[in-house]
A = this chain, B = another copy of it.
Amino acid sequence: MNAQPDLTRNQSLVLDTLSHADGPLSAYTILDRLRDDGFRAPLQVYRALDKLTELGLVHRLESLNAFVACIQPHSHEAGTVVAFAICETCGQVDEFSDEQVAERLSGWAAGHGFHPHKTTIEIRGTCATCSH
């Protein structure tokens, strides 16, 4: 599925777990799901998550303290801003980018001498399916 030749065994296991999940998973949930694969300690998960996040294959949802697999790997080019719509009812997460949002925020930063390193945009709410 998400087999990445350059990933280690632990990293692949964590990524596969996230890719097959219905929604965001906490590090400890991932740990529990990988007990049978030899995972014993949180650090094994966090280290894999750190690397996967660095590679852009996984995103951390700050408002949930949880992680999701990226829907489509994107580059780490400057100005890349990703937003997430998180349904509080079913847990589904939608990832999207909006160039105008990115430009407005970087515009504010430029006007204030602020140098962005990472931007978090998370919309909590109710998805279309759950609104019926």
Residues of A within 8 A of B (CB): 62-63, 83, 85, 87-88, 94, 96, 98, 100-101, 104-105, 108-109, 112-128, 131
Contact = CB atoms under 8 A, between A and B. Distances in A.
Q: Shortest 7 CB-CB distances between A and B: which pairs?
A: A113-B128, A116-B125, A62-B62, A117-B125, A62-B63, A120-B122, A115-B126
Contacts of A104: 98, 100-101, 104
A114 to B, nearest CB: 5
B98 A108 contact: yes
Number of copies of this protein chain within its complex: 2
Contacts of A85: 108-109, 112, 114, 116
10 contacts: A62-B122, A83-B105, A85-B116, A87-B114, A101-B101, A101-B105, A117-B126, A120-B120, A120-B122, A121-B121
